[in-house]
């Protein structure tokens, strides 16, 4: 196994390059670093906080530090815990370390995202929190459907109290490390039902042998805090801990780290408080701001020398971020004095904006720049479409990074549901998803009946189905459909044993009629079939179906093929950690960026986060950053006047070159009104309504609950949360017992086999029924 790998080969590498490598004791890999970077790499013992500004070589420091620890024999690969936030970051880190130290990087078993490492740990100790080690990880869709069931069972109006909002709330609670028992008072949902619903949800998850994303960490916290021996084992194992993007850790992740770090811990956190942009996901900038208090004697290293951008870009970004109050403060500098000022353009509307950017892309292209060196970074994905349309029109190649996530597409989830059900018959959510996809004539009523039986008997839906098809509860047609379904599944399961999983997938899609169903859909079918093809292709790089499914549940993202020469379109969040020679930053308008919602929900804190996002955006640029805003935008199909973003005003004029042609467009079309400042343009103030439209919506929404009280405010007892069978029914039937059945009427019991009764009905004749569907009659 990994433990028997040869010693790290970095020593070879250290000697291999350059004549200077032998002259000093300084290994080759350290020689290219500046003094601060060296310090960050060589301070291996004790807590270290590396404040790495944008473009200061953070990843290089991180990977070199790891290589250094390994090369100097301080630890072996499997004794390092390395956590990142995104899969992309984890992947990149692994690649770069492999490049530095060779194949022994494979021994880095504990390198991954918080969630994937937590999942690994949880699999080993699942039984301590009432799960089996084979637990499945639910995605948001599964989660919301489950919550919807719970809400409905509790008679809560799911329009007013949406499953989505409850999911968000529960996630928020989990991010803070709150189990249902530890939920502080004041945290609530649906008038006092919050905690009960949360508890009910957790117990449903346990029944399903499943957990959600938040649970991965929350269960870890439970295990590590309740079992001192286990925590101690991990503390001994992880001799060095490295955390990337520390500014984005939430409370749960923070607590998790603390549990895994001993008092003398060699923990190194790297981050940039100015780039904290995940507050909405529970990130606490405070974690990084109070590092010194948490780890007394911690060494703080600031990386301020920027190697990425020109001084104008850095100047613009620094001026912008200076408006934030909550920061540790650092000053980026560069020796690169070349380059143009940041260009700011105000144009008439969204179409003009996409035209402008497309034109500039073509100009840049003509001057020899590759498409892939240009990026359009937007605040929210709805902004992407305008650019896509324009680019298609002009045949500018582009790729949308992020966008609708591959694994969230309906057809991919359907395929997964089939596979999950083949792999584990207990997967009720998978069952629900595909029993009737493609249509088999198993409607909602039947499905509900199946689920009811399953829940009542404490078995899986599939088990209930197997039961039901030998009874007369369901219509003959439904029964036939279900038997076919069961037979198919059994056949595929048998097939799975000796078939490669991607071939199995193809067979299943074919034989289930799924492919035919898509073929029948002329509109979306072809694209979906393409996606499925892509899916089976991607599956081939995994050993087994199991490893594949584990991977997709954690990595909701897929490695696409090698980057082609195309303009990259992505959100600002998605752009973090990347860099491009030429960056376009459209949509800098109040309400769009900063997003109104962010301000409404989190006030000044929200605004500061938006500003950090702007900072992230500008600092992605190496040579040129081009910001733009429009005077009019089509929102929800409605024209709205826009005001330039306050961030535009905050850019220091010394580093900006601005021009707006929106001024008198209406009066004299095409006339350009060049000026240095644009906020005095009379036309902006004139018909200014935005962001009123959004605010008005928010107000209506938040008032609605008070004005219209829920119909079902009183819900008796907690037990009502989960549907229970009618109390009049139950086991204990005797031969000859008179019974009543909703559909078949009165009759008497003739045979009893487990939960199945053969009843001779007075009118309907002899039928096999499930005991929960009959009542005793006198």
Element (H, E) at 236: helix 228-237
Contact 231, 224 (CB under 8 A): yes
Please count the residues of this chain forming the interface with DNA, following the rule CB under 7 A.
50
Contact 313, 625 (CB under 8 A): yes
Active site residue 58: yes
What is the rounded distance in angstroms from the CA atom of residue 444 to the CA atom of residue 467? 18
Taking the CB of residue 5, how many other CB atoms lie within 10 A of it?
Answer: 16
The answer to whether 476 contacts DNA (rule: CB under 7 A) is no
Closer CB to DNA, residue 37 or residue 446? 446
Closer CB to DNA, residue 171 or residue 661? 171
What is the rounded distance in angstroms from the CA atom of residue 549 to the CA atom of residue 544? 9
Contact 418, 432 (CB under 8 A): no
Contact 620, 579 (CB under 8 A): yes
Residue among 341, 348, 284, 278 nearest 309 (CA): 341
Helix, strand, or coil (residue 745): strand
CB of residue 76 to DNA, shortest distance in Å: 26
The answer to whether 413 contacts DNA (rule: CB under 7 A) is no
The answer to whether 19 contacts DNA (rule: CB under 7 A) is no
Tell me whether residue 686 is annotated as binding.
no
Of residues 110, 189, 213, 291, which one binds DNA by CB under 7 A? 213
The answer to whether 102 contacts DNA (rule: CB under 7 A) is no
CA-CA distances (angstroms) from residue 693 to 590, 690, 703?
12, 6, 16
Helix, strand, or coil (residue 630): strand
User: What Rg do the C-alpha atoms of the chain give, in angstroms?
Assistant: 30
The answer to whether 354 contacts DNA (rule: CB under 7 A) is no
H-only helix segments in 660-727: 682-686, 692-707
The answer to whether 512 contacts DNA (rule: CB under 7 A) is no
Tell me whether residue 55 is annotated as binding.
yes
The answer to whether 337 contacts DNA (rule: CB under 7 A) is no
What is the rounded distance in angstroms from the CA atom of residue 205 to the CA atom of residue 137? 10
Of residues 94, 193, 308, 379, which one binds DNA by CB under 7 A? 379
The answer to whether 91 contacts DNA (rule: CB under 7 A) is no
What is the rounded distance in angstroms from the CA atom of residue 745 to the CA atom of residue 535? 51
User: Tell me, what DSSP letter sits at residue 435?
Assistant: T
Q: What residues pair up with 571 in beta bridges, in sequence order? A: 378
Tell me whether residue 56 is annotated as binding.
yes
CB of residue 595 to DNA, shortest distance in Å: 5
Of residues 193, 433, 440, 501, which one binds DNA by CB under 7 A? 440
By CB under 7 A, which span of 24-32, 127-135, 554-562, 670-678 interacts with DNA? 554-562
Of residues 18, 45, 226, 382, which one binds DNA by CB under 7 A? 382
By CB under 7 A, which span of 186-194, 219-227, 566-574, 645-653 interacts with DNA? 566-574
Active site residue 59: yes
The answer to whether 388 contacts DNA (rule: CB under 7 A) is no
What is the rounded distance in angstroms from the CA atom of residue 661 to the CA atom of residue 678? 9
The answer to whether 443 contacts DNA (rule: CB under 7 A) is yes
The answer to whether 335 contacts DNA (rule: CB under 7 A) is no
The answer to whether 255 contacts DNA (rule: CB under 7 A) is no
Active site residue 275: yes
Contact 348, 376 (CB under 8 A): no
Closer CB to DNA, residue 570 or residue 656? 570
The answer to whether 222 contacts DNA (rule: CB under 7 A) is no
CA-CA distances (angstroms) from residue 263 to 235, 247, 341, 428, 646?
10, 21, 48, 44, 45
Tell me whether residue 271 is annotated as binding.
no
Tell me whether residue 52 is annotated as binding.
yes
The answer to whether 381 contacts DNA (rule: CB under 7 A) is yes
Positions 446 through 475 that interact with DNA (CB under 7 A): 446
Closer CB to DNA, residue 693 or residue 733? 693
Residues near DNA (CB under 7 A) are: 85-88, 113-116, 140, 158-159, 171, 213-214, 277-278, 280-281, 379-382, 402, 405, 436, 439-446, 478, 554, 556-557, 571, 573-574, 595, 597-598, 601-602, 606, 634-637
Instruction: Report the binding-site residues for ATP.
Output: 52-59
Q: Active-site positions?
A: 58-59, 244-245, 275, 620
């Amino acid at each position: 196994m990994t433990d028997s790998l040869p010693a790290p080969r970095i020593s070879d590498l250290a000697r291999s390059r350059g004549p200077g490598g032998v002259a000093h004791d300084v290994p080759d890999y350290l020689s290219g670093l500046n003094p601060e970077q060296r310090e960050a790499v060589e301070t291996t013992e004790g807590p270290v906080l590396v404040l790495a500004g944008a473009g200061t070589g953070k990843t290089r420091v991180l990977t070199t530090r790891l290589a250094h620890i390994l090369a100097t024999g301080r630890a072996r690969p499997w004794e390092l815990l390395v956590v990142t936030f995104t899969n992309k970051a984890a992947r990149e880190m692994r690649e770069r370390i492999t490049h530095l130290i060779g194949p022994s990087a494979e021994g880095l078993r504990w390198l991954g995202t918080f969630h994937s490492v937590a999942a690994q740990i949880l699999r080993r100790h699942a039984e301590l929190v009432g799960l089996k080690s084979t637990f499945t990880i639910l995605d948001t869709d599964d989660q919301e459907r489950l919550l919807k069931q719970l809400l409905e069972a509790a008679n809560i109006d799911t329009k007013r109290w949406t499953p989505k909002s409850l999911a968000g709330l529960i996630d928020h609670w989990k991010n803070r490390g709150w189990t249902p028992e530890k939920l502080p008072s004041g945290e609530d949902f649906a008038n006092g039902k919050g905690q009960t619903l949360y508890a009910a949800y957790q117990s449903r998850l346990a029944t399903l042998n499943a957990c959600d994303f938040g649970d991965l960490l929350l269960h870890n916290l439970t295990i590590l805090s309740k079992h001192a021996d286990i925590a101690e084992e991990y503390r001994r194992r992880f001799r060095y801990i490295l955390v990337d993007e520390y500014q984005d850790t939430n409370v749960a992740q923070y607590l998790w780290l603390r549990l895994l770090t001993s008092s003398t811990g060699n923990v190194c956190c790297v981050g940039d408080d100015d780039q904290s942009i995940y507050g909405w996901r529970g990130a606490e900038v405070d974690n990084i701001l109070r590092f010194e208090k948490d780890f007394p004697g911690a060494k703080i290293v600031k990386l301020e020398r920027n190697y990425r951008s020109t001084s104008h870009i850095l100047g613009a970004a620094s001026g912008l971020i200076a408006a934030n109050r909550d920061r540790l403060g650092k000053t980026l500098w560069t020796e690169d004095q070349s380059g143009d000022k940041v260009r700011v353009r105000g144009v008439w509307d969204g179409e003009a904006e996409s035209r402008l950017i497309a034109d500039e892309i073509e100009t840049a292209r003509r001057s020899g720049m590759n498409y892939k060196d240009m990026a359009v970074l937007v605040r929210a994905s709805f902004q992407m479409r305008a650019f896509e349309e324009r680019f298609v029109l002009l045949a500018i190649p582009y790729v949308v990074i992020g966008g609708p996530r591959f694994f969230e597409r309906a057809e991919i989830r359907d395929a997964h549901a089939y596979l999950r059900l083949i792999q584990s018959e207990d997967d009720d959510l998978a069952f629900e998803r595909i029993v009737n996809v493609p249509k088999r004539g198993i409607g909602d009523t039947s499905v509900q009946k199946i689920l009811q039986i399953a829940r009542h008997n404490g078995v899986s839906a599939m088990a209930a189905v197997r039961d039901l098809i030998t009874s007369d509860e369901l219509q003959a047609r439904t029964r036939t459909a279900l038997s076919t379904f069961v037979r198919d599944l059994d056949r595929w399961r048998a097939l799975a044993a000796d078939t490669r999983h991607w071939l199995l997938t193809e067979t299943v899609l074919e034989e289930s009629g799924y492919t035919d169903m898509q073929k029948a859909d002329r509109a979306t079918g072809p694209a979906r079939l393409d996606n499925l093809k892509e899916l089976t292709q991607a599956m081939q790089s995994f050993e087994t179906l199991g490893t594949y499914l584990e991977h997709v549940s954690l990595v909701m993202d897929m490695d696409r093929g090698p980057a082609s020469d195309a303009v990259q379109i992505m959100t600002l969040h998605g752009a973090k950690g990347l860099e491009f020679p030429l960056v376009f930053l459209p949509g800098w308008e109040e309400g769009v960026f900063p997003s109104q919602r962010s301000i409404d929900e989190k006030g000044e804190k929200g605004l500061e986060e938006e500003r950090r996002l702007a900072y992230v955006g500008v600092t992605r640029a190496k040579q040129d950053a081009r910001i733009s805003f429009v005077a009019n935008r089509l929102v929800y199909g409605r024209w709205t006047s826009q005001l330039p973003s306050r961030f535009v005003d905050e850019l220091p004029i010394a580093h900006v070159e601005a021009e707006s042609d929106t001024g008198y467009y209406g009066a004299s079309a095409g006339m350009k009104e060049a000026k240095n400042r644009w906020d005095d343009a009379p036309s902006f103030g004139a018909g200014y309504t935005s962001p009123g439209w959004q605010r008005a919506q928010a107000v209506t929404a938040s008032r609605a609950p008070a004005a219209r009280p829920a119909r079902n405010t009183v819900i008796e007892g907690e037990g009502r949360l989960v549907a229970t069978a009618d109390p009049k029914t139950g086991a204990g039937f005797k031969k000859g017992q008179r019974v009543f059945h909703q559909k078949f009427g009165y009759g008497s019991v003739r045979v009893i086999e487990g939960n199945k009764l053969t009843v001779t009905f007075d009118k309907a004749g002899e039928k096999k029924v499930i005991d929960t569907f009959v009542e005793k009659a006198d």
